[in-house]
Every structure is written in C-alpha cells, then in structure tokens.
Amino acid sequence: MGQLKERVTYLERDSSLGQPPQLPEPPSWPDIEVESYENLGKVYKEGYHICPAAFGQSRNEECLFCLAFMEKE
C-alpha cells in the first residue's frame, strides 16, 4: 500500500509541474510473488481456505487442496 501512495505522490507532483509523470521502478515480480504466498499462508493459518474451490470460507481442519496450492511455489 505504501508503494501506491508513493506513486500517487509522484504523479501529483509531476503533473503540477507540467511535466510527464516519472514513476519509480516497480518492484520485481519475484518479490511480489513471494509476498503473495506469504500473505496466503497467513490467511490459511487464520483458519480460511486459500484453494480456488473454497477461497475465503472458514475451515475447521486441514485442507489438502489448500496445502497443495501452497506447495506450487
């Protein structure tokens, strides 16, 4: 979320100067993928499904589909 605010700030500053916006380099895809899998792991540990079949639903026990999905890293 911080990166989005930073980009908006750059866009607003550059547009007020009448120059085309100069955006900072976006983060590399591998960093984003790692962070996404970490977030999914947190959601799973909180007791929710992360598998496509039941995403976001509460779970009462381990789900083999969720575990298999996490191992695809």
Model confidence over 17-70: pLDDT tens digits?
566 656 666 666 566 677 788 888 899 999 999 988 899 999 999 999 998 888
CA distance 53 to 50: 8
At 49 the pLDDT is: 93
State the amino acid at position 68 in one-letter form.
A
Split into its structural domains, the chain has a count of 1
Q: State which residues form the domain around 67.
A: 2-71
Q: Do 41 and 28 meet the contact criterion of CB atoms below 8 Å apart?
A: no
CA distance 50 to 28: 24
The model's pTM: 0.52
At 56 the pLDDT is: 92
CA nearest neighbour of 51 among 66, 63, 33, 36: 66
